Each structure stands twice: as C-alpha cells, then as structure tokens.
Amino acid sequence: MKKKIVLLALTGILAAGSAYGSAFRIPEQSINSTALAGAYIANANGPDASYFNPANMSWAEDRYQLEADLTYINLPTIDYTDNRGGFFDGSSQTENFFLPQLHVVSKNYSDFRFGFSLVYPFGLSKRWDEPVPSMTAKEFRLEVIEANPTLSYKISDKISVGGGVRLLKAEGKVKSSSPLSPISQDLDGETAELGYNLALSYLPNKQWKIGATFRSRVDLNFEGDAKLVDLISPFTSDDDAEVTVVTPAVLSIGTSYTFDKTTVELTWDRTFWSRYTHLNFDYDGIVSPSPLDLFDSRINKDWDDADAYRIGITHKCNDKLTTMIGFGIDQTPIPEKTLHFELPDSKAKFYSLGFRYQKTENLEIGAAYLYDDKESRKVTNSSGVLGIDGKFEDAAAHLLTLGFVYKY
C-alpha cells in the first residue's frame, strides 16, 4: 500500500498546539507530569518513570506497576487582526482531542528493570476558514504516537542509568484552498521512524535527587502521492512526492528535594529546534515552468533552540491523598520572519494542579489540569502568499488528565 505525502509544514500529535511546549512538542504525558507542569525528571517515581526518566525505575517499589491515563485537550480559537484591514483577518477553529497514554514498569531482576510507554509526544492541528489564512493553512494536522520500551540498571545505591528505543508512527493531513486562489492542495499520509533515549539518576542523599534525560532527534520522512490542482490552467500534479519533517532532540535536567512531606522539583529543558531549518518539498510530477512550482520549492523555517523552566511541588497530605501544583515558562522557537497561520506560536506561561488518591493497597486514582497561556504576538513578515502584518491573540490550551495506577 502506497504512502501518501504529508505536506506538513510542521509536525507531531493528534492534538497539538496543545500543551505545546516548544512549538508542537507536548511534554505532559501522565497525571504527575500534567499536575507538575512538566517538572518531573528527578522525582519521576511511578510507572511513568519509564518515559520521563527510565533510570528512576531502579528506585521504584519492587512490584509490577501499570498506569493508564486519558488526556483531554482543548485549543480555544486564536484571533488574528491584520493592520491592512478586516479582509485579511481570521479566527482559527476550536480544537478538541482525547489522547490515551500507557506506562508499565517491571519488578527488579538482578538490578535491571524493564519499562514500556505509549504516548503522543508531538502534535499540531490548526484549521482556518477565512479567505486569507485558508490560502496556505485551511487545515494542518499531524499526530505522532510513540512506543518506547526502556531498560534501567542500578549501578549502586546512588547511581542508576537507563535508556530505550523510540518507535514513532506519524499520520497527517494538509489542505489549502481559498476563493482567492485557483491553486489547491489536499494531502494525507503516514510514516514510521526510529530514535532513542538515555537517562541518568543520582541520589546524593535520601532527600535529594538529580536526573537528566536525552531524547534523540527523529526525522519523519514522508513520501508517496500528492495531488495539486490549478483551476484556471492545464497544470495539475498527481504523482510521487516527498518531504522530511524534524522532531527535535530534547535535553532535560532536573533536581528535587524532599522536606518532610513536601517535594520541590526544578526542571530545565532545551528543545533543539535549530535543526529545523527548512522544508524541501519534492514533487516528481511538476514540470517547470508551472504555477505549481510554488509547492515544489524550499521553504525556510530557521527555528531557534527553545528553553523551558518549570517548578513542581508535591505534598503528601496523608497516607491516601497526595496533591500537586506546578508552574512553567516556555520560549517559542519560531522567529517572526517565518511564523505563519499553521502554527502562530508565542511565549507561554503555564499553571497546573492535580491529586492522587490511594483507593486500595494496589489501586491509586488521580486527576490533573494544566492551563497554557500564550502571549499575544505582533508579526510582520512576507511568509505565505500575502504575508502577515498583524497580531495573533487569545492562543491557549486546556489539558485535563484522568487515570489510575495499579501495582501487583
């Protein structure tokens, strides 16, 4: 069965923009990570340690552990107001998504522990109906699901290492059409690629933990069929095409300290978006000169590396109830000169809270909420067909995660 090209100018998870961390990255993949605003590297201590810091599996209780979660993501409307007049204005559609996650950690086997996670680490979805935005971004969607088997080894009572293999399967769709343009495109497709992750955990003492993780860059190489149509000329293309989209490497470093019943974690992460320099679309069926040459060309992105700073506080109220809160600041990797309607990203602050409740000796339930508040952003550039000269406002995301942990 032939793959179909995804002309995505961007990238990763059924949902997107969402909790996006930097651009279309989604760091929150469990109850704890959502409740702590992603400040969950050094003190990752449940089944989700298999994803957030597999080295920490060495410190887990010596039982099999399973966590199953469901995250609801709501992306409100983004409003765009153009300085050239109302004709250029637009509002994106509201987006709603449900994303399942699964995490498993094994018992101890001669200082080795095995884990497995199924998550959605990247994503984008944006739809615009107004004439100007829809010329290049009527619909952009990409979901990336990741299967991540992991392994940890306890070197000593203070040091553990871990790592794993990342299998990323991506599906996407791009559609551009507008009454202002005779040229349209409608593309969808899928691909699967491999990567890896590494982890380190160090315990200076019983209260203090230090952790570091690295997730590799993975290039999503989409190839297959693409159809482009010019309604007022004889030029059409229905042939093979290909494009590569980058999902970047991520380095995360965290430290946590426990004061009696309260644990505070500080986390810094860097997403290496600077490798996302351009998109180079190659359509075999386009014969130059043609109006469709617009699509068969290099599109500069020139993104920057982006840092995020997070703090999370966990408080054990009693033997059954644990509460959590978090806060973070996230930079955007997208420079003004290449920002467009498919991902009008900006700097963000995010606020979170959540709880876990021990129902029985083996069963724990929990819930978490995160609000991602994007800054308004003024943009003037020549990207797309007509360029941008205006302001994006009201971008945000709401995440609600529900789940349970079972140990046996």
Residue 156 and residue 69: Cα distance in Å, rounded?
A: 32
- The pLDDT value recorded for residue 239 is 66
Residue 355 and residue 353: Cα distance in Å, rounded?
A: 7
Cβ atoms within 10 Å, residue 386: 17
- The pLDDT value recorded for residue 172 is 72
Residue 14 pLDDT class (50, 70, 90 cuts): very low
Residue-wise pLDDT tens digits, 72-126: 999 999 999 999 998 899 999 898 989 999 999 999 999 999 999 999 988 777 7
For 306, phi then psi, to 5°, come to: -130, 135
Sheet architecture: strand order including 377-381: 90-91, 79-82, 388-393, 377-381
Residue-wise pLDDT tens digits, 369-386: 999 999 999 999 987 667
Residue 169 pLDDT class (50, 70, 90 cuts): very high
Express as a percent the part of the chain with pLDDT over 90: 61
Residue 141 pLDDT class (50, 70, 90 cuts): confident
Question: In sequence order, what E strands does 49-138 have?
Answer: 65-75, 79-82, 90-91, 95-105, 112-127
Q: Residue 356 in contact with residue 40, Cβ under 8 Å? A: no
- The pLDDT value recorded for residue 227 is 65
DSSP bridge partners of 246: 219
Residue 214 and residue 248: Cα distance in Å, rounded?
A: 11
Q: Which two tokens stand for residue 34?
A: 């959502």
**DSSP labels, 222-276:** EEEEEEEEETTSS-EEEEEEEEEEEE--EEEEEEEEEETTEEEEEEEEEE-GGG-
Q: Which two tokens stand for residue 115?
A: 């884990």
User: What value does the mean pLDDT of the chain take?
Assistant: 85
Closest CA to 99 of 77, 116, 121: 121
Q: Indicate if the pLDDT at residue 318 is higher than 70.
A: yes
Top CATH class, 31-407: mainly beta
Q: Indicate if the pLDDT at residue 8 is higher than 70.
A: no
Query: Which bin fits 260, alpha (ψ -120 to 50), beta or left (φ > 0)?
Result: left
Q: Indicate if the pLDDT at residue 3 is higher than 60.
A: no
Helices (H) and strands (E) in the chain, counts: 3, 23
Residue 342 pLDDT class (50, 70, 90 cuts): confident
Which residue, chain included where needed, has tokens 């392994």?
A: 151
Residue-wise pLDDT tens digits, 173-222: 766 654 555 566 666 778 899 999 999 999 999 999 999 999 999 988 87
Residue 119 and residue 379: Cα distance in Å, rounded?
A: 33
User: What is the amino acid identity at position 64?
Assistant: Y
Residue-wise pLDDT tens digits, 217-243: 998 887 666 666 555 555 565 666 677
Domain boundaries, the chain: 31-407
Q: Indicate if the pLDDT at residue 387 is higher than 90.
A: no
Residue 300 pLDDT class (50, 70, 90 cuts): confident
More confident of the two residues 343 and 11: 343
- The pLDDT value recorded for residue 1 is 37
- The pLDDT value recorded for residue 7 is 39
Look up the pTM and report it.
Answer: 0.87
Average pLDDT over residues 119-145: 79
